[in-house]
Amino acid sequence: MPITHSKITSRVPITHTPGPWHVQGRYIVPADDGPSIGSAIALKAPSLKAQPDYDAVAQVNARMMAAAPDMVELLYRCLPFIEDANQDPCYKSDRVAALENQIRTLLDSLERPL
């Protein structure tokens, strides 16, 4: 869905496996239950005195990765509001501009061709 708000005039399709994704154990799979997109692991750190539950950590990591398509879409949907806030004297324009720049940099890094 192209976004057409001031600075956002087009949107390059991101070429990842379309979301939504969900978690099966430590695996990330597409909603159509196709092949696994990836898996999450938690590496043991011998320097830690208290070792965490590595399976639980891997599952939390998998949930974070599975949420990625939704998070990217939310960033696109937030950008028009950030642009509007940058023009509003109620907000500190330097902070709003910095936030907008961070979001755009992140989204640009995802849209770069492989």
pLDDT tens sequence across 68-82: 888 888 888 888 888
Is the separation of the CB atoms in 68 and 21 below 8 Å?
Answer: yes
16 phi and psi angles, rounded to 5 deg: -95, 170
* pLDDT of the residue at 4: 41
Residue type, 3: I
Q: Say yes or no to pLDDT of 91 above 80.
A: yes
Structural domain boundaries of the chain? 21-111
* pLDDT of the residue at 87: 83
Is the separation of the CB atoms in 70 and 20 below 8 Å?
Answer: yes
Q: What is the band of 38 on the pLDDT scale with cuts at 50, 70, 90?
A: confident
Q: pTM, whole model, 2 decimals? A: 0.66
Q: What is the band of 13 on the pLDDT scale with cuts at 50, 70, 90?
A: low
Q: Say yes or no to pLDDT of 98 above 70.
A: yes
